[in-house]
Structure 1
Amino acid sequence: MDWLGLRFGTELPADGQILLACSHNSWLVLLAFLVASVAGYCAFDMAERVAHAQLPETRRRWSWLGACCLGGGIWAMHFIAMLAFEAPIGIDYDIPTTTLSLVIVVAASLVGMYTLGRSRLAPRHYVAAALAVGLGIVLMHYCGMAAIRSAATQYYHPGMVAVSVVVAIAASLAAMLLSTFFREHGEGHQLLKIPASLAMGAAICSMHFTGMLALQLVVPPGTELQLERADNAVQLGSSLAVIVGMVLLFALGVAWADKKLQRKELDLQHVSNLLRELEQVKVKLQNVAHYDALTNLPNRRAFNEFFAEKLNVHAQFKQSLAVMFLDVDHFKRINDSLGHDAGDELLKVVAERVRSVLRRDDVIARLGGDEFCVLASLGNLTEAKSLSQRIMQRMKEPITLAGRNVTMTTSIGISLYPDDGETCEELLKHADLALYQAKSSGRNNLHFFSRHLKNKATFELQLEEELHLALSRDEGLFLNYQPILDLHSGQVTKLEALVRWQHPQLGLLSPDRFIGVAEANGFIADLDGWVLRQACRDLASLAALGFHDLRVAVNCSALNLSRDDLVEEVQRALTENGIRAQRLELEVTENALMSNVNQALHLLEGIRGLGVSISIDDFGTGYSSLAYLKRLPLDTLKIDRSFVMDIPGSHADMEIIQAIIGMAHTLHLQVVAEGVETREQLDFLRSHGCDYIQGYLLSRPQPLVVIEDFLRHSHGLGSSNVRPLRPIDSNPA
């Protein structure tokens, strides 16, 4: 087969001369190898640039540059190696054919570069590209050989030609795989490019010299053979190597500069991304700082800013503004019974429902917990009341929480600008006071702020401060005692301790004036503790006067029944004053017991274990049941004065008292009747088995010194001739 004057597989002519005296210049062979290696290194670097290029246009430019470098390097290696070939005949080269060989290898290299530019490479891509590039190199080689002009005819051994094709394809496949490796791991494996490039140079040279091994030159008989060494072969080869090397080094310099520039661009892009992320985080932090994460409503901080701006606008235009405090009634029950997830869902529903009632310019914010605040531009009280009623009505619609339908209500307190204040602080405080009043009025209610509320709040605040000061200094507080008569023995066997406060400006205050203040402000435990300790001290002084069996009843607040250290406090008061526990009786109201039966039961059992008696006070006014009374460790039951005061005129009260006495005795409880003021009431109670009486018939609450005198004279009294003590305290117990 002939191709461009090359004969493949044709038998050698019988009359031809085979040129055997051919050799290669070692230095030029080494130079060809170095050019091929530099071309390989350049190809690896260009392939990396192609793969990392962001824009298609940039990727095309690097592909062309890489193809020119790789193809030109391989072509230069071929012709330097041909200059190293020394034969005993003259050899020239055809320029067009030589140029065609360069075009072929550059085109093949371009196919390889475009293949490496893919984001993902499958095995079929490697194989196709290796075939294209390998065959292109083979075509370049044999096309370059066809460019030789000499007296000799070129014959090629088919087997060796096949070997050269395989070597070219294998070298191309290896180049593809190595390029992919350096593209993905280039930053950490830069030094590996050097041995890889040397290996690629050796593979390319191997292909060339394998093809040369397949060559046999045959000249016609009689041709004069003389080994003519070209004096300028080394010079031409070196010049070509220098030129190609400079081109390749220039290309590498461009690639290196582009890599640095791209790295800077990546760094700048990274910094830009960080700045963008920082800005996003800043926005999120601002949202977190200004908006409630659960309801997506403005929080207290954002609300204060909105409020200040809105108030300034309304001040400029002299327009009224309503400030509405909203509170979900019994919200804690939802958290306690259905869980906090249900409570969170309820808050979302509340926020959405209130927002649906408001107008576009109105502002709603969640201030914390179940508290919401609304700012609404209104003309008068009627508009504010109408808006509040719409909110309350919307809230009454059933809500599905944790698979259950519940109906919630809300209480609303309202203050108006400028009538109720001219600053944000004043309006918020006054709306909060109005909300407190609405909840105190039974909830599911709305209430407008009034000056009476402010005066009341101011008075309670002042009373709170002064009461706290009185407790800390132990000044102004004292105990009065009301005797309790045993109807069976006719003797005064018990006293009830009742606290009084001699206020420096308001005079003598009964408990109903300041007990509520102490409970609302968290120091009822301090007040109850003071009463307990003072009662034990007074009981010790009475024992010193000879009243060793006299007992004292001390009231215990409902809030104190939730304190685990109450038992220890009672024990300490008894021990410090040397009082037997049997001489102390603790009185708790019926409602206080029923509000938390399980905890109260635990505490009362502990107190009862000390030997202290337990009395249930104001019986009949609460909502206790026989089932609970049977469980509680009680000793005494006190009938409220409201059932006694109308005897004997009220037959219903008389029947109720008979029933209470019968029930108490069935439960093995002693009965004390409070508020006994007449002889008829005493006779009725005695005739129906009442155990004790307490009231003005016997004595009003008196200071300890008066009680001491009373006790001295009362020990001779019989059950039929009770003699009352002259009252000096006009305040009832």
Structure 2
Amino acid sequence: MDWLGLHFLPSMPANGRILLQCSHNPPLILLAYLVACAASFATLDMAERIGHVDNVNARLRWRALGALCLAVGIWAMHFISMLSFRAPLDTHYDLPVTIASLAIALVSGMVAMEALSYPQLRPGHYLAASVCMGLGITAMHYLGMSAMHSSATQYYEPVRFAGSILVAIASSLAALILAIRLRRGSGMFHQLLKYGASLVLGAGIVSTHFMGMWALHLVVPDGTQMQMPATENSLQLSLTIALIVMLIIAGSVSAALADKKLQAKEHDLRRVNALLSQLDQARASLQQVAHYDALTNLINRRGFNQIFAERLMEQNLANGMLAVMFLDVDHFKRINDSLGHDAGDELLKVIAGRIRGATRANDVVARFGGDEFCILIALQDIEEARQMAQRVMTKMKDPIALAGRRMVMTTSIGVSIYPADGDTCDELLKNADLALYQSKGNGRNTLYFFNEALKNKASLALHLEEQLRNALTEGQGLQLFYQPIVDLQTGHVAKLEALVRWQHPLHGLLTPDRFIAIAETNGLIAELDNWVLRQACMDLAQLCDNGFEKLVIAVNCSALNLAREELAQEIDAALKEAGVPPQRLELEVTENALMGNISNTVLLLNEIRKLGVALSIDDFGTGYSSLAYLKRLPLDTVKIDRSFIIDIPTSTQDMEIVQAIIVMAHTLHLKVVTEGVETPAQLEFLSEYGCNYVQGYLFSKPAPLEALRPLVQQLNQRKPSELWPSTHLLDAVEMSMGEPIRPGGRRETGHPRPDRFRSRPHR
């Protein structure tokens, strides 16, 4: 039977015979297997390169090279295997047919590399490609077999023939699957897998050839003379073909390896470039973060200082002038507390835009943090700075729509000038801050230029702060003065108000207005309050020993100290340490201090009241004066401020106010103390309208406890109708104090009393 020019055994002629003395040369078979394995490895390597290359032209080149390696490898394996075939016949090969078989092998290789160029293959694609490859390989094999010419006729057994085709298709399918699976990966294990896969694929290719050879039967006519051909030429030709093919495969693999290394270097270079680009972006971002405020997009303190140093150097060389303006938004904290921080941030953005809009293009505007801004401008004269500040203040007063409200914000500004107010950045900024402090301390919404007086004041404050800290640490220099509080019912001294003084080694005796604000600003007020409390309790113990068992001492409490939860425990500890009953201590707090946080204040005052300590509200009428709050507080006494007494009896309005306060306090079951009593007319008015206690220069100025003891003893022996101290008694007290105390002598009228130990506004 003949099919496509092939002869099959059922059609073998009757006058022929089959040759049985055929064999193969084992070394050449091994050489053919090695060539097949090398071709398989090269194919896998080319497939890997195709999977890692993005350039289209490069992919085409690697596909062509892979097809060449696969084709010449399979063809060389077939040709070397044919040369290893030994039959007792004189054989030779038809060169055109042999070259045609190589062309078929190239087509099969191209089909294989085309399939491997896709990232993924479906099962149908795998099958179609493997069938095409298998048919190509078998076509190449049987066409190469037909190139072998001899006196014998080639016949094939049909079943084995079909088996060779199936083996070729199966080998092709295995090659495709392994090539696609192994083209992604790296490392030693991946390389070992490629070597193992190459051995398996080489065995499959060789199996295809020898399956076809197993199906082959050579039939010679009867009477044909047999002879064994020489093997030297076959061996030389096989080695030559193997060497050429190995060189081609080795060159291809080397090129793939070199390209892989080059691509890895390019990849590393791209990564390095990407990292450098990211570093540049990160550096730019850090520069932005380091020198600009994220909320307002103005430069921050760091960026401002850098520009300030550069501008200062420029103006120094040009003998020019600079102005540094510190701006602080007035009462900004109330916005955060009432509307929330988000609203506060939106307000800061608007304010920053308005400040920027009021300045010139070359002016530097920075946000230092919170609600503080700074402007740096070059100028010809100081008036430019004043005009700039006024423009900013005017711009700020435009209504701002925020959270459904329309509000007007103001700003306080402090200005320092280079070179008049300093020649360094730090000095100019510090001086502008001092000017701002002065602006805020004088009512806000104002403009102040720096002057030396501010610097001297700041230096003095720093000096006093250091020495006050030492005085508290060492317990030296501080002392308590007392002022009597007289009961109008009995005419006796019922209480003594404790007032702190500081005997400074250079400045003499300092009243609280000189150092209380310093203590509050620098965190010393709690320690100072505690010292006053303990000293007053020890003085109470001394009074008990001297026969004043019923005398009460009133101690003032700072607004900042009233916010501390530890206050009740400190009061209890001071009383227990001195061994005096709590009923003999009274705590005076100002009206504004009570209203700071009314809920917490009520809780704290209740704790103090549970100890047995009396509570008094000081300076009543100067603050909120809210009856709704007043009735909630556990108070015992209301003290009327001296500002309502000073013009009595000439001021009818003040008389009516004081009368109303007394009636209101009595309605709430509170006692009334009036301070600042200096004339008999004032005393008579207060006595007439039911005031409970009076205090003032009419009886005594504040004095040390030892100096007041004779006055207290004398007053406690007099009748209510004899409230005016006798002349000889006052003379005795004056001699002990070294200064006049009676009315008409040297008094501190005309100014607010410096004796109050209370909170004062401070920056």
User: What TM-score, normalized to structure 1?
Assistant: 0.91
Partner of 2:496: 495
Partner of 1:137: 137
Letter in 2 for 1:723: W
Contact 2:51 2:184 survives alignment (8 Å): no
Contact 1:6 1:156 survives alignment (8 Å): no
Instruction: Label 1:336 to 1:160 Cα distance change in 2 as closer, same or farther (>3 A).
Output: farther
The alpha-carbon deviation at position 100 of structure 1 amounts to: 2.2
Partner of 1:581: 582
Aligned positions of 1:55-204 closer than 5 A: 55-119=55-119, 126-127=126-127, 129-156=129-156, 160-187=160-187, 188-204=189-205
Aligned positions of 1:268-667 closer than 5 A: 269-271=270-272, 273-396=274-397, 408-667=409-668
Contact 1:542 1:708 survives alignment (8 Å): no
Partner of 2:744: none
The alpha-carbon deviation at position 606 of structure 1 amounts to: 1.7
Letter in 1 for 2:471: A
Instruction: Label 1:687 to 1:372 Cα distance change in 2 as closer, same or farther (>3 A).
Output: same
Letter in 1 for 2:463: Q
- Provide the C-alpha distance between the structure 1 equivalents of 2:244 and 2:614, rounded to a whole number of angstroms: 116
Partner of 2:6: 7
Aligned positions of 1:628-707 closer than 5 A: 628-707=629-708
The alpha-carbon deviation at position 61 of structure 1 amounts to: 3.8
The alpha-carbon deviation at position 124 of structure 1 amounts to: 6.0
Q: Deviations over 1:20-56 (max 9, x none)?
A: 4263415133332232122112221232233224544
- In angstroms, what is the RMSD of aligned CA positions? 3.0
- Provide the C-alpha distance between the structure 1 equivalents of 2:109 and 2:344, rounded to a whole number of angstroms: 70
| SS of residue paired to 2:569 | helix
Letter in 2 for 1:25: H
- Provide the C-alpha distance between the structure 2 equivalents of 1:125 and 1:314, rounded to a whole number of angstroms: 80
For structure 1, which segment, 520-529 or 690-699, has the greater mean C-alpha deviation from structure 2 after superposition?
520-529
Contact 2:15 2:222 survives alignment (8 Å): no
Instruction: Label 1:346 to 1:123 Cα distance change in 2 as closer, same or farther (>3 A).
Output: farther
The alpha-carbon deviation at position 152 of structure 1 amounts to: 4.2
Instruction: Label 1:719 to 1:364 Cα distance change in 2 as closer, same or farther (>3 A).
Output: same
Letter in 1 for 2:636: D
Contact 1:95 1:147 survives alignment (8 Å): yes
Contact 1:16 1:218 survives alignment (8 Å): no
The alpha-carbon deviation at position 112 of structure 1 amounts to: 2.7
Letter in 1 for 2:70: L
The alpha-carbon deviation at position 669 of structure 1 amounts to: 0.6
Q: Deviations over 1:506-527 (max 9, x none)?
A: 3333322322222223212222
Q: Deviations over 1:48-90 (max 9, x none)?
A: 2332245445444433333222211100111112123334443
Instruction: Label 1:241 to 1:438 Cα distance change in 2 as closer, same or farther (>3 A).
Output: same
The alpha-carbon deviation at position 15 of structure 1 amounts to: 4.9
The alpha-carbon deviation at position 691 of structure 1 amounts to: 0.9
| SS of residue paired to 2:109 | helix
The alpha-carbon deviation at position 120 of structure 1 amounts to: 5.4
Identity of aligned residues (%): 56
Partner of 2:22: 23
- Provide the C-alpha distance between the structure 2 equivalents of 1:41 and 1:218, rounded to a whole number of angstroms: 38
Q: Deviations over 1:487-538 (max 9, x none)?
A: 1122111111122233344333332232222222321222222222222222
Letter in 1 for 2:16: Q
- Provide the C-alpha distance between the structure 1 equivalents of 2:165 and 2:641, rounded to a whole number of angstroms: 118
Instruction: Label 1:59 to 1:357 Cα distance change in 2 as closer, same or farther (>3 A).
Output: farther
Contact 1:21 1:88 survives alignment (8 Å): no
Q: Deviations over 1:397-417 (max 9, x none)?
A: 566667776654433222222
Letter in 2 for 1:330: H
- Provide the C-alpha distance between the structure 1 equivalents of 2:196 and 2:704, rounded to a whole number of angstroms: 110
| SS of residue paired to 2:192 | coil
Letter in 2 for 1:689: G
Contact 2:347 2:402 survives alignment (8 Å): yes
- Provide the C-alpha distance between the structure 1 equivalents of 2:691 and 2:75, rounded to a whole number of angstroms: 128
Letter in 1 for 2:11: L
Segments of 5+ residues of structure 2 without an aligned counterpart are 735-739, 742-746, 756-763
Q: Deviations over 1:587-643 (max 9, x none)?
A: 111111112212222221121111111110111111131111111110100111122
- Provide the C-alpha distance between the structure 2 equivalents of 1:134 and 1:409, rounded to a whole number of angstroms: 91
Partner of 1:36: 36
Contact 1:326 1:412 survives alignment (8 Å): yes
Q: Deviations over 1:679-706 (max 9, x none)?
A: 2222222222111111122222222222
Letter in 2 for 1:639: I
Instruction: Label 1:645 to 1:185 Cα distance change in 2 as closer, same or farther (>3 A).
Output: same
| SS of residue paired to 1:483 | strand
Letter in 1 for 2:18: L
Instruction: Label 1:134 to 1:422 Cα distance change in 2 as closer, same or farther (>3 A).
Output: same
| SS of residue paired to 2:631 | helix
The alpha-carbon deviation at position 548 of structure 1 amounts to: 0.9
The alpha-carbon deviation at position 309 of structure 1 amounts to: 0.4
Q: Deviations over 1:212-270 (max 9, x none)?
A: 34545455x55615253442334433443344334434443444454445445545555
- Provide the C-alpha distance between the structure 2 equivalents of 1:517 and 1:78, rounded to a whole number of angstroms: 105
- Provide the C-alpha distance between the structure 2 equivalents of 1:407 and 1:225, rounded to a whole number of angstroms: 125
The alpha-carbon deviation at position 467 of structure 1 amounts to: 3.0
| SS of residue paired to 2:713 | helix
Partner of 2:759: none
| SS of residue paired to 1:189 | helix
Letter in 1 for 2:136: G
| SS of residue paired to 1:184 | coil
Contact 1:6 1:146 survives alignment (8 Å): no
- Provide the C-alpha distance between the structure 1 equivalents of 2:128 and 2:364, rounded to a whole number of angstroms: 69
- Provide the C-alpha distance between the structure 2 equivalents of 1:317 and 1:32, rounded to a whole number of angstroms: 91
Instruction: Label 1:121 to 1:357 Cα distance change in 2 as closer, same or farther (>3 A).
Output: farther
The alpha-carbon deviation at position 306 of structure 1 amounts to: 1.0
| SS of residue paired to 1:541 | helix
- Provide the C-alpha distance between the structure 1 equivalents of 2:594 and 2:462, rounded to a whole number of angstroms: 29
- Provide the C-alpha distance between the structure 1 equivalents of 2:514 and 2:272, rounded to a whole number of angstroms: 68
Letter in 1 for 2:655: M
The alpha-carbon deviation at position 662 of structure 1 amounts to: 1.4
Q: Deviations over 1:141-196 (max 9, x none)?
A: 23323323334444556665554344333322221221122211242321122321
Instruction: Label 1:109 to 1:645 Cα distance change in 2 as closer, same or farther (>3 A).
Output: same
- Provide the C-alpha distance between the structure 2 equivalents of 1:128 and 1:449, rounded to a whole number of angstroms: 93
- Provide the C-alpha distance between the structure 1 equivalents of 2:95 and 2:13, rounded to a whole number of angstroms: 32
Q: Deviations over 1:422-477 (max 9, x none)?
A: 22112101111122222223334433323333333233333333333333333333
For structure 1, which segment, 391-400 or 568-577, has the greater mean C-alpha deviation from structure 2 after superposition?
391-400
- Provide the C-alpha distance between the structure 2 equivalents of 1:556 and 1:695, rounded to a whole number of angstroms: 20
The alpha-carbon deviation at position 644 of structure 1 amounts to: 1.8
- Provide the C-alpha distance between the structure 2 equivalents of 1:134 and 1:403, rounded to a whole number of angstroms: 82
Contact 1:168 1:204 survives alignment (8 Å): yes
For structure 1, which segment, 68-77 or 253-262, has the greater mean C-alpha deviation from structure 2 after superposition?
253-262
The alpha-carbon deviation at position 316 of structure 1 amounts to: 1.8
For structure 1, which segment, 271-280 or 295-304, has the greater mean C-alpha deviation from structure 2 after superposition?
271-280
Contact 1:323 1:427 survives alignment (8 Å): yes
Instruction: Label 1:110 to 1:628 Cα distance change in 2 as closer, same or farther (>3 A).
Output: same
